[in-house]
Amino acid sequence: MKNLAKKTINLAILTGGLAALNTNERIAGFKDALADFEKETGIKVRYVADPFPSEDDVAKAVQIVRDVERTYPNLDGWFTANANILLAPNQTVISAFGGEQKMKDKLIVGFDTLPPRIRIS
């Protein structure tokens, strides 16, 4: 993220499905950690209508990221509670996030434990 001097950072959360216990626990843990970050730094974290469910569909995950990036141009970062977005071709992912320069200016955190996703890391 380019500017930690901000008073508020705007984040979005992408998830596979809203009913999956494991991804809901990841989201809760992420939010708990950022609540601690708020206390320590005084920087407010604002979630922009989260989470966005992709229903474990790679194409849907890409479209959600594109749509959210357009709807919230001041978005500072993403938490992906699963890595479906990363299964898309690299250029598709880069484009969905608004291009290489926009990606460099964002905090993007992803988490997944399924074998195909672990190999990507």
Residue 67: CATH number of its domain: 3.40.50.2300
Number of separate domains in the chain: 1
Give the pLDDT confidence of 33-47 residue by residue, as tens digits.
999 999 999 999 999
| Token digits of residue 78 | 């993403």
pTM of the predicted structure, to 2 decimals: 0.84
User: In this structure, is residue 121 part of a structural domain?
Assistant: no
Question: With pLDDT > 70 as the criterion, what percentage of the chain qualifies?
Answer: 89
In a domain? residue 3: no
Q: Which domain, by its residues, includes 33?
A: 8-115
Residues 44-102: pLDDT tens digits?
Answer: 999 998 799 999 899 999 999 999 999 999 999 999 988 778 788 889 988 999 998 88
Confirm whether 76 is domain-assigned: yes
Map tokens 């993220």 to a residue.
Answer: 1
Does the bond joining 116 to the residue before it have cis omega, within 30 degrees of 0? Answer: no
Alpha helices per DSSP H over the chain:
21-41, 58-71, 90-96, 100-104, 115-120
